[in-house]
Structure formats: C-alpha cells, structure tokens
Structure 1
Amino acid sequence: MSGRLLSRDAMRLPNLRLAFRLALREMRGGLRGFYIFLACIALGTAAIAGVNSLSQSITGSIAAQGQELLAGDLRFELNNRQASEAERAFLAEQGQVSVSAGLRSMARLPDGSNQALVELKAVDAAYPLYGAVESEPTAPLGAQLSERDGAYGALVAPLLIDRLGVSVGDEILIGNARLRISGTIAREPDAVSDGFGFAPRLLVSEAALGASGLVQTGSLVEYAYKLKVADPSAVPAIRAEAERAFPEAGWSIRSSRNAAPSLTANITRFSQFLTLVGLTALIVGGVGVANAVRAYLDGKRAVIATFKCLGAPGGLVSTIYLIQILLIASIGILIGLVIGALVPPVAGYFLADVLPVSTSAAVYPSALALAALFGVLTALAFALLPLGRARSVPATALFRDQDIGRARRPAWAYLGGAFASLGAIALLAVVTAEERRISLTFLGAILFAFLVLRGVSWLVQWLAKRAPRVSSPALRLAIGNIHRPGALTPSVVLSLGLGLALLVTLALIDGNLRNQLTGTLPERAPNFFFVDIQGSEIEGFRGLLAREMPKGKIIEVPMLRGRILAFNGEDVAKREVAPEARWVLRGDRGITYAQNIPENSSLVDGAWWPKDYAGEPLVSFSEKEGKELGLKIGDTVTVNVLGRNITARIANFRTVEWESLSINFVMVFSPNTFAGAPHAWLATIIDPAASEAEEAAALKAITNTYPTITSVRVKDALDIVNGLLGQLATAIRAAAAVALVASVLVLAGALAAGNRARLHDAVVLKTLGATRATLIRAFCYEYAMLGLSTALFALFAGGVAAWFVVSRIMTLPSSFLPDVAVGTIIAALILTVGIGLVGTWRVLGQKAAPVLREL
C-alpha cells in the first residue's frame, strides 16, 4: 500500500480508483459513528420524498378521475340564474347535458319540532353523466328520487339522520315540499367539484326543488350544467367557443382536467409547506452530518497522519473520506426513499374516508429524485468543511492529538464547494416551489434563524466566560464547560433552537386562532345569518325576529351575487395577482348597494357618494383587498351580475372588519347601479345574551313561518371550522415534529461527538478526587443552562413569528400564551438534560487507568 501511496500519480492528484479501494477497506469496520448521520439524512429525505409522493398521488388521482369527479367533461356554472334558451341550445349541440342546482336551505320535521341546515342539490334524470351515486339501501337513483303519494324521494347524508333524529322511510319538509327519506348517501361522485359545504347533503329531483318554492327572485342558487362530449379532445375548442359566443354569460367553465381546482391548489400549497418543513429537518440534520463527520475524522487522526507521512497528498486523503461519506449518505438516502415511497399507500389507507379520490400504490420517480438530490446536496454542504479542516492539519499535529474540529479554516475550494451546495439547495427549493415567494421567505427565515442561533450561542458563551466565580465546584465546572474551546454550546443551541422555535410558532398560531373561535369572537359575532329573504317577506320577518329575540340587534342589507371580470377593461384571468388576494377573483362574490357607509367600515381614501346619486355606477372597495389587487381610486371594475356586465368606477376605499363575522362585502355599489334589479335580502341578529333555548325557539319560529328562508347558526359554523382547524393543526404539528426529531438526533450526535473530550475530563477530575455525584450535578447544571437558553430563544423567535402571522397576515388579535411558554421550557430541559445524561453515563463509568495511559 505504501508503494502505491508514494507513486507519482498519487503524488500529483488523487487516484480515484485507489481512493475508492481504500475507502471500502476502511468501511469494513461497519457504520459505527455514522448512525446519527444516517438517521438525519434518512429522516429529511423520507419527509421530502413522502410529502411529494403523496401530493403527486392525490393530484394524479384527481386528474385521472376527472370525468367522474366533475360528473362530466365540462362544467358550466351560473349563479342566481338559469341558462338562457340560446345558451342551453348551444350546450345541447355539443353533447349530452345534465343540470343540477345547489343551494342552502332548512330541512325540518313535519311537526316543526326540529330543523337543520342542509346543502340541497337537485338533479335531473341524466345525472350523473359519469360515475354513480352509491346509497344505502342500494337502488336506482331515479327510483329513489321519484314522487309517490305527494312525497318526493330524497337521499340524505348520515349526519342529517342524526341531527333530525329520523330514519330511512320518515318524512321531512324542505320549503313547501314534502320529502320521503329513501336512503343515505354513501358516495356522491362530483361532491368534491361542487366545493366544501358547511351542512349535510340532501339530494332531490328537479321536480322536488320546483315544488319546494325555494327558487325565487334573488335566491342564492348555483346552477351547474354538466356536458358529456363524444370526443374529449374537443373540450378546449368547445370552451373557447362558449366564451366567444357568450361573452356576457358570466358562467364559470371548468373541464375534467381541472375537476377540483380548490382541492388541487390546497394540496399543492400544503405539500409545499410540508416540503419546506422536511427541508428544514434535512438542513437541521445537516448540522448532525457535520458533527458526525468531524467526530469520525477525529477518530481517524492516526490513520490520516499515517497516510500523510507515507506521502499521500491532502487531495487523496480528502477523496477517500469523501467517498466514504457519500456512500454512507447514499445508504441513508436509500432508506429515506424507501420510506417515502411507502407513504402514499399507507396514507391513502388511513385517509380513505377523508380523501374524495382513491390513491394508487405507485412509485413517483420525480418526487424520489428530488428528495435524493436534496439529500446528496445536504450531505456535501455539511461534510466538506470538516473534510477541509482534516486536510489542512499537518501530520505532526495529528500525532500530537490535536482535535480536527479546532483546526484552521479550510481551503477556499472546500468553502466554495460547501456554499455552492447550499446555494444549489436554495435554488432547487425555489425552482420546484409552486409559490416561489413563500419559498424565498422560508429559506430567508431559516438563514436568519441560523445566524441568530449562532449569535445566541456566542452570547451564552460570552456570559458564561464573564460569570462571577461561584463556590459550588459542580456549578463552576458546568459554567466552564459552556465556554471552553470545543464546547457543546453551539451544537446544542443550533440543533434544538430551530425545531423548538418552529413548534412554538405553530402552537401560538393555533392557540390564537382557537381563542378567536372559542373565546371573544362568538361574543361579538352574530347569532344567525338569514339568507334568501324575499322583499315581500322582509317586514314580517323583521317583526317576528324582534318578538322572538327582543334584545337583539337586527341588520339587513340587499344581497346579489357577481363575478369580477375585468379591472380597467383588462381580463382578470390575465392579471398577475398576489396569492393572498386571489380569493376575491375566484368564483362569485356577494355584493350589495348602500346609501350610507356600512357598519364595521370606515373610509380611508376617497369620498362616499351623495344621497340620491344618479351618475355613473360607483363602487366602494375594501382597502386591504384593493391594494393587494393593485387598484386605486378612479379605476374601473367590471362585474357580471345576473348575466349582465356592469362597469363601475372605484370612488373610495374602506376598512372592513372581517374578523367580526358581521355582514361585510368586498364591494359596495351606489344604489343606482342596480336600480330595478331583482334581489333578495341578507340579515343578521346580534344578541350575546341569548341562551341556546332562545336561539332554538327563534330558529323554529322563523323556519316554520318562512320555510324558504335559510338560517345559518354562526356557532355551528364556528364548531365546524374549529374541527377543521384542529385536524389541520394536528397535521402541521406532526410535520413540524419531524424537524424536532432531527434536532434531537443532532443533539444526540453533538453529545456523542464531545464524549471523547468529556471522557478525558471526567477521568482527570475523578483522579483528582471528584465524585460521580459531583460530575452528574455538573453535567445537569450545564445541560439545564443550555436548555433554558435554547427555550428562551425559541419562545422569543416563535413569539415574534406567530405575532407577525396572526396580527399582520391574518389581521387578528395576537396574544402570548403562557402554557405554550411553560411547555416549551419543560420540553427543552427534558431533552437537553435527559439526552445529555444518557450520552455521558458511559463516560462516568470508564476506568481511569486505560485513559490515563493514552494522555
């Protein structure tokens, strides 16, 4: 071997074949010392591979099952009006048409003793064009929805059975129609394309909807015209022709290729967030990679010195150990990819009742390749610096037992390689992201957190170095261990700080949202929303509600629906819009007109129109949404309402208190804009002192007297949102826990890497008379101080981040939660003290003689 090492080829530049052979020989001893390395790489790679594989599995299933999820090849949606004869004739020329109507209404028992909000869907005989409605008991859909003895058949969601206390075969009332429950819905093929509903589904026929009397002037009804064509490749052409032939139709057109855009978009956004969390875990694990490589090379000092003394150039030595590191990283990456590939089928099994599509047990090469690339780049980025330090240490220093980690700065080539790898990680994260601005912000936050954590560790060491002398030997030893050369302080603070800060941020955001939903918000929010109040009913409705809840404040406004088509004549579909404002342009918006400034609003720019204004149509726009859309005073907004395009000029901007849950609108028009337009009314009542019994009595009276008015109890809606928020928070916390697990692994690796120095210190101190109890107290003090410092940073950083998200992005009141603070401090202390003592227990039991002979 020495002859080969001294050969001229080896002296000039690294011989890859020789380096590979020597690397394999050195790995015969196994992977001892690299288990933390493997775990860190495998954990981060598995998170990224699993999240992206699951995302591709779900979105791929949505695309593959698009026709069934849409129940057609094309879906034309109209709000508050049916298609005209010309529009219906055009659709009929293209293929088979199925029509459905959706609205919210109140289902009640015949004796008026109970009622519940439902998502009513009325379908024709052609429904569904693709797929099938599955029910219990099983029977043809037409037979289940048919009319018999004056009662129309209906399929209901099982939840409605529970809420009303009825069973299959019983009768319920909807509007003026009598329905017979013929079964429960097990599966509705196009439920996901219809969108999220706050209430259980009630499926009836078109005839039943007509008999109910629910569809009146201004009623909030969504009509969906599903089209099945002979040649699916003609779908783009049909869509283009529909837009050209009916420019003012105001319909929303969707194809089976985009059957569930909201679901797809939410899954994509959520997967991007989880990918970034997985990347955080991988980068945090990179610190563990650096610690493991440094500890491994430190244990190879004698071998490295021998290589150098035999004439091996520094490049050959570095290549040998770089090959080893990459081979071991490949093992970790492979483990992570296997775990990631198993995520879709496993998650699909547990999410079968939640997901509207069936996921397939397939392998997604692009997701696995992306995760593997992240893993390789992370291993390189954090391994090159320890390798560079090992190369720069001369053989004589290695024989003198100098710690590789305290060697001088690596050569520029190693620094450049490490920074290039980190840059490649950042570039890859941004390029592959759906929302690049979010990725840039996230990566910037991680970089800032690393710099701040480094500063925190330096500050802790600086304070420990200048701490006054204490009388306790154990405490004095603990303070010295914090600031001495080669101390664990930077590794411990860096490893735990990021993971704990992430968990604190999510816990505070979740806690503040829950406080809003279950704390002060219900006290300020209305008790009920009442929808589809006809003009002929408004006076009687107002009087009845005043009698039932005499202490309540009633607010009523006219209500229409409209879709924004253009700003200043420019199609909104061609406009670059900030992500936080896209909801304004998505689908139809509730709009109104008003003579005076609405409650919960105040002007911030421009002027309100005068009384009896009769000029060009004007509109007041919500300030926050208007600025996000890039609008200014004097711009024009074109809105399609009831099949007509109306263009209004922005007269002013106003603040809107969305968090109050009162009646608020993005757009409020001048009264002359909709002069003579048919519309219904929207009303609320606010009575914080009303009991549940009073609310129930009022709801019963309104539903029985005005069966076509829809009542939405705000508390029920808040309960649904709270449940969804809980599920989302659980998923996010589980993902963030991956980063914390990586932090714990890095902490364990850092402690293992420092055990050699601690072993020498413990042996010397025991030789000088220190007892095991004294050393245990010293270690406990040290780990407790480090854990407390890390917890304080996590509380500060997480608190600031949560405050920014809640108060600035969500525009909600933000408060610091003491229980989160206490839990964070306890978790940090348990992790640092617990793992620290477990890692050093073996050190305390070492015999002195063998160690002293090596000094």
Structure 2
Amino acid sequence: MTLMTPRISLAFRLALRELRGGLRGFYIFLACIALGTGAIAAVNSVSQSITDTIETRGQEILAGDVRFELNNREATEPELGFLQGLGKVSVSTGLRSMARKPDGSDQALVEVKAVDGAYPLYGKFEAEPNYPLHTLLADQNGTYGAVAAPLLLDRLGLKLGDEILLGNVILNITGTVKTEPDAVSEGFGFAPRLIVSRKALQASGLIQTGSLVEHAYKIRLENRGDVTGIRERAAKEFPSAGWSIRTSDRAAPSLTENIERFSQFLTLVGLTALIVGGVGVANAVRAFLDAKRTTIATFKCLGAPAATIVLIYLFQIGIIALGGIVIGLVIGALAPIIASQFLAQFLPISTAPTLYPVALAVSVLFGVLTTLAFAIMPLGHSREVPATALFREQGFEAKGLPSWPYVVLAAAFLAALAGLAIATAHDRFIAIVFIGAIAFAFVVLRAVAAGIAWLAKRSPRVNSPALRLAIGNIHRPGALTPAVVLSLGLGLALLVTLTLIDGNMRQQLTGRMAAGAPNFFFVDIQGSEVNQFRELVKEHAPEGKLVEVPMLRGRILAFNGQDVTKMKVPPAGQWVLRGDRGITYAETLPENASLTDGTWWPKDYSGEPLVSFSAEEAKELGLKIGDSVTVNVLGRNITAKIANLRKVEWESLSINFVMVFSPNTFRGAPHAWLATLTDPTATAPEEAAILKSVTNTYPTITSVRVKDAIDIVNTLVAQLATAIRAAASVALMASVLVLAGALAAGNRARTHDAVVLKTLGATRKMLIRAFCYEYLILGAATAIFALFAGGIAAWFIVARIMRIPSHFLPAVAGSTLVVALVLTVSIGLIGTWRILGQKAAPVLREL
C-alpha cells in the first residue's frame, strides 16, 4: 500500500501536467459522453418530474382523496350512505353526446361532464370569464349555463352567450374552460369538453336505460388515514357493486404507466446514443494514445512501469469524462424547466426549478460505466508500446486484444452497463431484448465490416487508379472500414426502424384501416328507437350496410374465481382489465370473426352462461376453453364459462368485443344498442346529411364519424412520431460524432499515405477522388446494412407486436441511402482536406 500510493500520486500529477496542453483529440470524446449522459438525465428528470407531480398533487388531479366509479348506474342508497360516511362527496357524471346548434345546421361530438355544487373538492376550476363554476352553470330564466372548451366554439362557430342543444335541453354558453384540475385523471378524450350541472344533464334526457354513462363519486376523507383500508372495506360490504376505486396516490395510473413506458423507450434510445458514443470513446482514446507513443516510449526509457503509464492516461480519460458527465448533468437539470414550458398545458408537470438526484445519479452511472467499458481496451494497448517507438514512431502497431486482465475488466464494465439498463427499466423484458439486440448488432456490424473488407480484397482489378486506391484503402491494415460501419450503422439502423414503424402506422391509419372502416358509429340507441332509426338511416343511405348489436358495459372481476387485481398480468393483456369493457351477446358467430378453438353455442341455448373470448387476449391472460370469467354488469356479478376462442380483426374498426356472451346470460337485462353504417360510396355532403338527420331526429343518440376519429389518432401518432424521431436523432448525432472521431483518428495514417503518394506523383485531385470513392462505398454498404437490420426490427414490431400489416417503404430506403452517403462523404472530406496540404519533409523524416 505504501508503494502504490506514491505511484498513484505521481501518475495523477503527470496526468494533470499533460492536460495543460489542452483537449485536442478529446473533443469528440467529450461530446459523446455529454450527449449520451445528457439524453438519459433529461429523459429521466422530465419523467420523474411528471410522476412526482402526479403523486404530490394527487388530490388535486383526482379532485378527491378517493374516487369510486360506477358505469351505467348510480349508487344505491346503501352504497351512497357508505360513501357519505367516509367524508364529503362530490358526484360527477361523464358521457359522450352530440351538441347541436339550435337551428340544427351543425353539430359536434362532445365529452360531457356534469358536476354538482361540491366540485371540485381539491384544486381550482378556472373559466374565462373567471366566475365561480356554480354561477356559470346556474339556471337563468329556465336556461342552464354551460362551460365549453374553446375548441367546441371554434368547431361550431359559436361565442359566449350563444345557445346550444344537448339532448333535449337548451344550454347557454357562459364561459370557456381554462383549467380543469382533474382532467388528467379523467383520461384521454376524442372530443372537446362541455361542462354542465347535473340538473341540466337530467333535463337533457341523455341518461336512459343502458346509456354509456360513468358516475364518479369523489370523496374528501374526514380521516386521511383511512385510504389504505377503503378498498377492503368496500369489497367486504358491497362485493357485487362492481365499482372501480382509485386513490389519490394513484390519481392517473394510465398516464403514469404510459409516461414510464415512454421514458423507458427514450432512455433506451439515450443508452443507444451513449453506447454509440462509447465507440467514439474507444476511437478517441486509441487515437490519443497513438499520438502519445513518443511520450509513452520516453516514460518507459526513464523506467516508468507499464501500470504507471496506464494510470496516467486513465486519470486523464477520467477527468475528461467527468467534464462530459457534468455537461450532461447540466442538460438533465435544465430539461424539466424547459419541458415544463411546453408540457404544462397538457400534462401535470412542475414549473418550479427542481433537481431530481436519482435521475441524475443514474445518468452519471451510465456515463462512468460507458467510459470505462470502452476505454479499458485501448488503455491495455498503451502498456504494450515499446521503448523503441521513441526512435522509430511508425515501428509499432497495436494488434489483437490487450492482455487478459484488461479484456476481463472491459467485459465486467459492459456487463455492469447492461445490468444497470435492465435494473432501471420499467419493463425488464424489453430492456433485456434491447440490450441483446445492441450486442448482436455490434457483432453483426463487425461481421459486415469484415465482409466489406473481404469483398474489397477479392474484387477484380479496375483501371481507375483512384478507384483502385479506394478499394485498397477499404481492406488494408488499419483501414477505416470497421470504424465507419460500426459508428454509423447503429444510428442509421435505429432511425430506419423508427421511420418504418411510423410509416406503417400512418399507412394503416390512412390506408387499409380507413378504407375498410365504417363511416359512422351510433351509440346509445334505445330499444324503442331501433326500428325507426334503421328506417331513417336506410332513407339517407340506401346502399349502406347497417350493423346493430346489443351493448352493455361490464368490469372483469375474476378468472376461475381468482380476483384479477391480485393476479400478475402481462403488459399486453392489462388493457382488458383496466376499467369497464364493452360486452354484447349474440346467437350466432359475428361475421367479422372466426373460431380458433371450441364451438359456438346452438340457437335457443338455455344452459349455463357461456362466453366467447378473443383468442389473442385470452392467450395474454392465460385463459383457455372451460375457464370461468366473472364480470360485474349493472351491479350484478355474472360468471360464465369460456365456450370458444375467436380471432378478432381489431384493425377493421368494425364492431368487435373481447367478450361475446350467450343470449340467455342477459335475458331481460336493460341495455342500449350500438350500430355501424358502412357506405364506401358516400360523399362528404351525404355523410353530413346523415349526421344532421340522425342528430336532429334522435338527440340522445351519439354519432361518431370514424374519419374524424382517425384524423385525431393520426395527429397524435404524428406528434408522437416527431418526439420519437427527435430522440432517435440524438443517437444519429452520436453516430455522426463518432464517425467524425473515427475519421479524425485515421488521419495520422492518412497523412503518411497522402505524402508518400504525392511524392510518387499522385495529384490532390486524384487523392480527393479516391477518398470520395472510398467514403461512397463505405456509406452505401452501411446504408444497406441499416436498411436490412432496421427493416427486420420494424417488421417484428409492426407485424408481431402491433399485429398490423408491415410494408417496406421505398422512400425510407432512398432517404437512408442519401443520409449515409452525404454524412460519410462530407465528414470524410472535411477531415482529409487538411492532410492533403501536409508538407512532405516532416512526415518522411519520421518513417
């Protein structure tokens, strides 16, 4: 220990002295570490800012300490008494309906929210003008007030003081929504918000038997300590209530889960950038140590042990990496502040400057492990520089692997890096697959580089000296081929993957899905209205196909008697258990489905309740023929046996259900009807006429134009794709930096080559042409790999995970090829232009 301490101290002092000469050769290193660390720090800080805000402002976001939700029915007297015994109760009712102009000239789908005088129990509702909500919603001379989202006024061309119709009631628009405290907990809506009083909603006639209505009972607890035991008490006293219970510590679970998943994806993209940057670290360290051969040889001539030399440059690398990490931390610390300016209007995110130590610490670990994992191997080569390099600088070329301790250390740091990525992931399986894919990509990229060199070495002789020189440069010792393919290939492959996924989703939404989708969905058709409704639609769309099915809502409570809330369900199947599901009954197999297992029940079946389950979802939930499913419908628990499994084409956008029951299951149960109208020949004016006629004749029926819904989804997909591409550009930027570093690292050998060739009669024009050919070949080869690898990855995600048709998009191929060629040629020429003017004497003197 006493011998090691002076040696370490000496190595540290020498490292600091060498750093006085500046960071030349390490700027790419610095940028790679800063970029990757900053991306991970920023993503995790923003994600933690949102999730922390949801937790700390849970009462405001939920507008209560706890929320009980019932679908299609209100709480019974005993149930309401139980809720009121917990504390102050605020009741709100939500549903979708049509808002119309009084003259019937126009209409729009709205998300109706009817509130009572106690709303909100927490937080503050703000409107424009800023009057109390109960004042804005009050009954004035027989007309109820309403507060609307500004978008609704824009769509219908209305202004404050105008009137609209909701069902059978006339509403006066008294204000516009500015801040709705519990909007996030209500979930995503496809239509603008319209807030009314519960009395106005009752007068509208929209709440009828079987209507798709959600009743939320939000409670301000008298004793906050009761939160943990409320679920157990409610389940014990009302086992058949079928209500959904949410507490303020989980105010917006769907949003939290989506934020965590999206942040995991962006973190993995940031990790890709960091790993690609790791290649840059290795190149930079290798180039730096290559330039320090004379210095290293001098140290050895003066008796410095190899371990001391490694320590000197390890300290230098560590200090520079620390600088890059600090830059990344600054980026991560500023990210939530900047993001809050853009996200505050959409998501609950703190606008106060706040540091998130855990997120920053994780990014520091990623940065440190990446630096060590990729710098150890080049450092291992530094100890092998012989003292004779002092006298003949070109006499030593590091080949093969360094000594085994350095290989083991590098492997250990890489394993730690992978372990950290998996340990911090929301979905560890995805993280494991991602890490495996990255490792496999590195192996494949090495193989691709070796294959390119092998083909170049065995290519036929060409007449062009420039092209011959370019081909020789590709396979000669110390060629740039591995560095270029490795640095650019991974970033391009990621960009191709994301672009193809985005392109296929858009093509599906605007192409096959849109073409085969029905024109309209009609919801909440009462049984007494079905026949007249059918005649009205046929009158306006005689060639259209009208499909009608009974519609109920039910919540899955148990599988084979086991409570689903206590089951571990794979992520792909969790959506089936989240909230209420639409269910139906049918005597015969639906025409858009096919059986995959089991048999359909016979007509006039009267035995035990049976259910047909979607095959894909049943597989995710671990269900099979003969298993039992318990659902709560209208306050009753119904258990049915799975009689068959069927394949459902969800992408058709026709009427599909996860569960279809035998008709005897719901005999006599009150329900509404759901219908679709499909008429491919209908024009926009004809669709408008159908919508107007149905809405004016049956104001309680909700009409959804499918094209409008697809347009909304398409807009959301476009916004999401923009965010994903922006994240992917970080990885591509890292690739560009690494490419520039790799080419700069090769400039030392290029300088000697250029001088020798010019001495032998080569012109600058010929050398430029040779370099262009070389970079074009490498860029094209890398682009082909990126298209192949990205195409396979996109196909797997689109076809196997998203389960939609996957197509290769030629425009993506063309743009990828152009990007690869422009990057390699432009960066390559920028790097080599300077060496073409290098004077010959100083270089030849060192040979």
TM-score range, shorter chain: over 0.9
1:235, CA displacement in angstroms? 1.4
CA contact (8 A) 1:57 1:360 kept: no
Counterpart in 1 of 2:645? 653
Are 1:445 and 2:437 an aligned pair?
Answer: yes
Asked if the contact 1:378–1:425 (Cα under 8 Å) also holds between the matched residues in 2, the reply is yes
- For residues 205-354 of structure 1, the aligned pairs below 5 Å read 205-354=197-346
Cα distance in structure 2, aligned partners of 1:454 and 1:407: 16
User: For 2:806, what is the secondary structure of its paired residue?
Assistant: coil
Contact 1:294–1:405 at 8 Å: present in 2 too?
A: no
Q: Distance in 2 between matches of 1:576 and 1:77?
A: 23
User: Equivalent residue for 1:198?
Assistant: 190
Q: 1:14 to 1:558 in 2, by over 3 A?
A: farther
1:155 and 1:204 in contact (8 A); partners too: yes
Structure 1 residue 600 and structure 2 residue 592: aligned? Answer: yes
Give the corresponding residue for 1:621: 613
- Decide whether the 8 Å contact of 2:297 with 2:385 is kept in 1: no
Partner SS, residue 537 of structure 1: helix
Match of 1:520, as an amino acid?
A: R
- Alignment map for 1:116-515 (pairs within 5 Å): 116-396=108-388, 399-402=391-394, 406-515=398-507
Q: Does 1:786 align with 2:773?
A: no
Aligned-partner Cα distance in 2 for 1:814–1:404 = 51
Output the CA distance in 2 between the equivalents of 1:252 and 1:812.
Answer: 32
Tell me which moved more, 807-816 or 482-491.
807-816
Quick one: which amino acid aligns to residue 635 of structure 2?
A: G
Closer/same/farther in 2, CA of residues 509 and 79 from structure 1, 3 Å limit: same
Q: Following TM superposition, by how much is the alpha carbon of 1:339 offset from its aligned partner in structure 2, in angstroms?
A: 1.0
Shift of 1:66: 0.9
Aligned-partner residue type, residue 439 of structure 1: A
Q: CA deviation at 1:9?
A: 7.5
Counterparts of 2:143 and 2:780 in 1: how far apart (Å)?
Answer: 70
The DSSP-based 3-state class of the residue aligned with 1:15 is helix
Equivalent residues of 2:97, 2:112 under 8 A apart? yes
- 1:167 touches 1:181 (CA, 8 Å); kept in 2? yes
- The separation in 1 between residues aligned to 2:238 and 2:123, in whole angstroms, is 30
**Alpha-carbon offset, residue 400 of structure 1:** 3.4
| Counterpart-to-counterpart distance in 1, 2:156 and 2:395 | 74
State the shift of 1:403 in Å.
7.2
Distance 1:490 1:354 in 2: 45
Q: Do the aligned residues in 1 keep the contact of 2:298 with 2:390 (CA within 8 Å)? A: no
Structure 1 counterpart SS, 2:547: strand
Partners of 1:119 and 1:202 within 8 A in 2: yes
Question: 2:5 and 2:479 mapped to 1: Cα distance?
Answer: 36
Deviations 1:752-774 (A, max 9, x none): 10001000000111111110000
Query: More deviation in 610-619 or 307-316?
Result: 307-316
Greater Cα shift, 293-302 or 395-404: 395-404
Measured in 1, the distance between the counterparts of 2:571 and 2:769 equals 54
Q: CA separation in 2, counterparts of 1:301 and 1:410?
A: 16
Q: Aligned residue for 1:5?
A: none
Alignment counterpart, residue 693 of structure 2, candidates 674, 682, 701? 701
Contact 1:135 1:186 in 2 (8 A): yes
Residue 115 of structure 1 corresponds to which residue in structure 2? Answer: 107
Distance 2:473 2:537 in 1: 73
1:522 counterpart = 2:519: no
Alpha-carbon separation, structure 2, partners of 1:391 and 1:312? 10
Question: Is 1:609–2:609 an aligned residue pair?
Answer: no
Corresponding letter in the other structure for 1:473: P
Match of 1:803 among 795, 805, 816: 795
C-alpha separation in 2, matches of 1:218 and 1:329: 64
Q: What is the CA deviation profile of residues 124-170 of structure 1, one whole-angstrom value per residue up to 9, with x for unaligned ones?
A: 11111111211111111111101122211000000110111111101
| Cα distance in 2 between the residues matched to 1:392 and 1:762 | 28
Measured after TM superposition, the shift of residue 402 of structure 1 is 4.5
Structure 2 gaps, min length 5: none
Determine the C-alpha separation between the residues in 2 that align with 1:714 and 1:281. 40
What amino acid sits opposite 1:341 in the alignment? A
Matched residue type, 2:258? N
What residue in structure 2 maps to residue 3 of structure 1? none
Partner of 1:564: 556
SS at structure 1 position matched to 2:479: coil
TM-score by structure 2 length?
0.99
1:329-373 alpha-carbon deviations (Å, 9 max, x no partner): 111111111111100001111223222444431011111110001
Q: Which runs of 5+ in 1 are unaligned?
A: 1-7
- 8 Å Cα contact 2:293-2:389 kept in structure 1: no
* CA displacement 1:617-647 (0-9 Å, x = unmatched): 1110101010111111111111111111111
CA distance in 1, matches of 2:588, 2:794: 37
Higher alpha-carbon deviation: 466-475 or 392-401 = 392-401
Amino acid corresponding to residue 737 of structure 1 in structure 2: S
**Distance (whole Å) between structure 1 residues aligned to residue 506 and residue 624 of structure 2:** 35
- Quick one: distance in 1 between partners of 2:9 and 2:295? 19
- Conserved 8 A contact 1:9-1:15: no
Deviation track 1:528-554 (CA, whole Å, cap 9, x = no partner) reads: 000000000000000100111111100
Contact 1:13 1:316 in 2 (8 A): no
Please state whether the residue corresponding to 1:485 is helix, strand or coil. Answer: coil
In structure 1, C-alpha distance between the alignment counterparts of 2:414 and 2:239, rounded to whole Å: 50
1: CA distance, partners of 2:469 / 2:170: 83
Query: 1:123 touches 1:205 (CA, 8 Å); kept in 2?
Result: yes
Structure 1 residue 730, shift from structure 2 partner: 0.3
CA contact (8 A) 2:394 2:846 kept: no
Map 1:733-812; keep pairs closer than 5 Å.
Answer: 733-812=725-804
Q: What CA distance in whole angstroms lies between the structure 1 residues aligned with 2:278 and 2:165?
A: 63
Residue 419 of structure 2 aligns to a residue in which SS?
Answer: helix
Letter in 2 for 1:290: A
Contact 2:49/2:350 (<8 A) preserved = no
Partner of 2:634: 642
> Amino acid of the residue matched to residue 154 of structure 1?
A
State the alpha-carbon separation in 2 of the partners of residues 405 and 279 from structure 1.
Answer: 32
Distance 2:374 2:448 in 1: 21
Q: CA deviation at 1:241?
A: 1.3
**Alignment deviations for residues 720-775 of structure 1 (CA, whole Å, 9 cap, x no partner):** 00110011000000000000000000000000100010000001111111100000
Q: Relative to structure 1, is the Cα distance of residues 266 and 610 closer, same or farther in structure 2, using a 3 angstrom cutoff?
A: same
Counterpart of 2:196 in structure 1: which amino acid? Answer: V
Q: 1:48 to 1:403 in 2, by over 3 A?
A: farther
Say if 1:550 and 1:404 are closer, same or farther in 2 by CA, change over 3 A: farther
Aligned partners of 1:398, 1:377: CA distance in 2, in Å? 33
Q: Deviations over 1:827-851 (max 9, x none)?
A: 0000000000000010011111221
What is the RMSD of the two structures over their aligned residues, measured on CA atoms?
1.3
Residues 613, 670 of structure 1: 8 Å contact kept? yes
Q: Decide whether the 8 Å contact of 1:61 with 1:360 is kept in 2.
A: no
> d(CA) in 2 for partners of 1:625 and 1:395?
68
Tell me, in whole angstroms, the C-alpha distance in 2 between the residues paired with 1:379 and 1:42: 11
Would the aligned equivalents of 1:14 and 1:313 in 2 still touch at CA under 8 Å?
Answer: no
**Cα shift at 1:240:** 2.5
> Letter of the aligned partner of 2:735 in structure 1?
S
